[in-house]
Structures are given as C-alpha cells and as structure tokens.
C-alpha cells in the first residue's frame, strides 16, 4: 500500500518538475497547434494503428454523406462550405490569457452541432490533410492519430454533450458551451493519450500521460473554456440572424 503511494507520489513529483520546464518551452509556437501531433513523432506501428482506428469512422461519415446527399443536391456544397468555415475558424488567433499569446480553437464541437458528428469527421480528415500538406501542422504519418483525436473524439464528445444536455431540457446556449468545452478537452486528452502511448519508452504509460497532460494544462484549460464561449456565441449569432440556415445545415445535425 505504502509502496504504491510513494510510487504514485514520485510519478506526480516528476511529472510536475518536467511540466514546469516543458510548460515554458511549450509557450513557443508549438502551443499554437499543440493539439496537432506533428509529422514524424509517432513510430510506424502506432501511426498505422491510429489509421486503422480512424478509417472506419471516416468511411461511416462518407456513407452518411452519400445517404444524405442522395435526395438533397445542395448537401455536398453545404458540407464543403461549412468545412471551409470551420477550417478558417480554427485558423483564427484566439487570445489565451495564461499563455500570453494567441492560440487557435478547434471548432470541432461547433461543426458537430451544425452538420452532425459523422460528417464532422469527414470534414476534419480533409482539414487535417490540407494542414499537414500545406501548413506543416500535423502530418501525413500522424494523420490517423489526429483524425481520431480532433475528428472522432472531438466530434462525438461535442455532439453527444449537446444532445444529452438538450434532452435534459436545459437551454441550448449551455449545451453549446459545454459541447465546445468538452470536445476541446476531450481532443486534448486523446492527443495526450496518443503521445504518451507512443513516447513512454521504458517508463510507465501513466507517468508519461500525467506529464503530457500537465504540460498542456496551462494553455488547454483556458482554451477549452474559450472554445465553449466561442461555440455558444457563434451559434447564438447565427441563430439570431439566420435561423433558417441552421435548419438547412441540420438536415441530420443537432441544432
């Protein structure tokens, strides 16, 4: 009992020390795209594994797209345009007080509320491919892992949160806020899991995970909250100006 306790305390202690150094280092441009796993970080087996996890979700999303665009000719242009909008939103610099600089929202929760989680995965896979190819954010070898964390986890957590809170009869602003917040945090947790799994080397997985989670806390916790505000605020703006557009996008979404 005592042994486990000291071991755990050691883990936390070590994690904290390195988090302090890593935290300062991460406040470099890296934090701006902290949630993208950079090209080349994952060893080949892990890269393949995450591809294998991501593919069925993308395939399912594409099936969803095919089904919904069969009777609605405008559906594919709509998905493409929402994708372009979310891509841009995710490139907008958002001021994060704790980092002292600007970071970027993910926009996945917002997209999931607008067009549903399946299509959000498709759109995210495209956005991540474009970013990997042309902006050196994320990567081709890490595309699978990034689709899983940013697309699959972010979209389904965001969408699920929104649906559950709406079903509880709570106001949609709250649902949207929590959808944005939780999808952001879930993405970051998943990214940490992916990194820890690949990088723990001889050390224990949980120690590495704690370390990475802690290293990202200073920027990701406030960023998640901002993302919640963003999600609710943007949705509110659209609802107040053009509610009919939301109904159009929601041919299967949740708003």
Q: Does 42 bind another protein (CB under 8 A)?
A: yes
Return the number of the residue (47 or 99) whose C-beta is nearest another protein: 47
- Name residues contacting another protein, limited to 137-156 (CB under 8 A): 137, 139-141
Q: Does 164 bind another protein (CB under 8 A)?
A: no
Applying CB under 8 A, what is the total number of residues that bind another protein?
A: 91
Nearest distance from C-beta of residue 205 to another protein, angstroms: 12
How far, in Å, CA of 65 to CA of 46, rounded? 29
Identified binder of another protein from the candidate list 35, 54, 89, 254, rule CB under 8 A: 89
Side-chain-side CA neighbours of residue 35 (13 Å): 31
Nearest distance from C-beta of residue 1 to another protein, angstroms: 26
Q: Does 100 bind another protein (CB under 8 A)?
A: no
- Which region, judged by CB under 8 A, interacts with another protein, from 49-57, 146-154, 167-175, 235-243? 235-243
Residue with tokens 């150094």: 21
Angle at 22 between CA 10 and CA 48, to 5 degrees: 90
Q: Is 3 helix (H, G, I), strand (E, B) or coil?
A: helix
Q: Does 222 bind another protein (CB under 8 A)?
A: no
- Which region, judged by CB under 8 A, interacts with another protein, from 49-57, 148-156, 161-169, 223-231? 223-231
95 neighbors 222 (Cβ within 8 angstroms): no
The residues pairing with 166 across neighbouring beta strands, listed in sequence order, are none
Residue 164's nearest CA partner among 156, 173, 151, 175 is 175
Q: Does 52 bind another protein (CB under 8 A)?
A: no
Q: Does 94 bind another protein (CB under 8 A)?
A: yes
Identified binder of another protein from the candidate list 18, 197, 217, 221, rule CB under 8 A: 18
Angle at 107 between CA 164 and CA 81, to 5 degrees: 110
End-to-end CA distance of the chain, in Å? 50
């Amino acid at each position: 009992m005592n042994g486990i306790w000291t071991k755990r305390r050691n883990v936390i202690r070590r994690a904290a020390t390195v988090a302090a150094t890593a935290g300062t280092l991460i406040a470099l441009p890296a934090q701006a795209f902290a949630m993208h796993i950079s090209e080349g970080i994952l060893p080949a087996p892990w890269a393949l594994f995450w591809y294998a996890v991501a593919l069925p979700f993308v395939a399912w999303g594409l099936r969803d797209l095919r089904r919904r665009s069969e009777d609605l000719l405008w559906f594919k242009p709509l998905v493409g345009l929402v994708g372009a909008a979310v891509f841009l939103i995710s490139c907008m610099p958002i001021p994060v007080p704790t980092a002292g600089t600007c970071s970027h929202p993910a926009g996945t929760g917002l997209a999931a509320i607008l067009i549903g989680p399946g299509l959000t995965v498709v759109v995210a896979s495209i956005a991540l491919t474009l970013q990997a190819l042309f902006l050196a954010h994320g990567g081709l070898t890490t595309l699978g892992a990034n689709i899983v964390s940013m697309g699959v986890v972010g979209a389904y957590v965001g969408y699920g949160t929104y649906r559950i809170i709406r079903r509880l009869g709570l106001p949609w602003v709250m649902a949207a806020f929590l959808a944005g917040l939780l999808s952001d945090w879930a993405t970051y947790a998943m990214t940490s899991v992916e990194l820890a799994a690949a990088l723990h080397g001889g050390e224990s997985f949980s120690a590495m995970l704690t370390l990475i989670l802690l290293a990202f806390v200073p920027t990701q916790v406030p960023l998640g909250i901002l993302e919640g505000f963003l999600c609710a605020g943007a949705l509110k703006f659209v609802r107040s100006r053009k509610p009919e557009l939301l109904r159009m996008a929601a041919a299967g979404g949740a708003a």
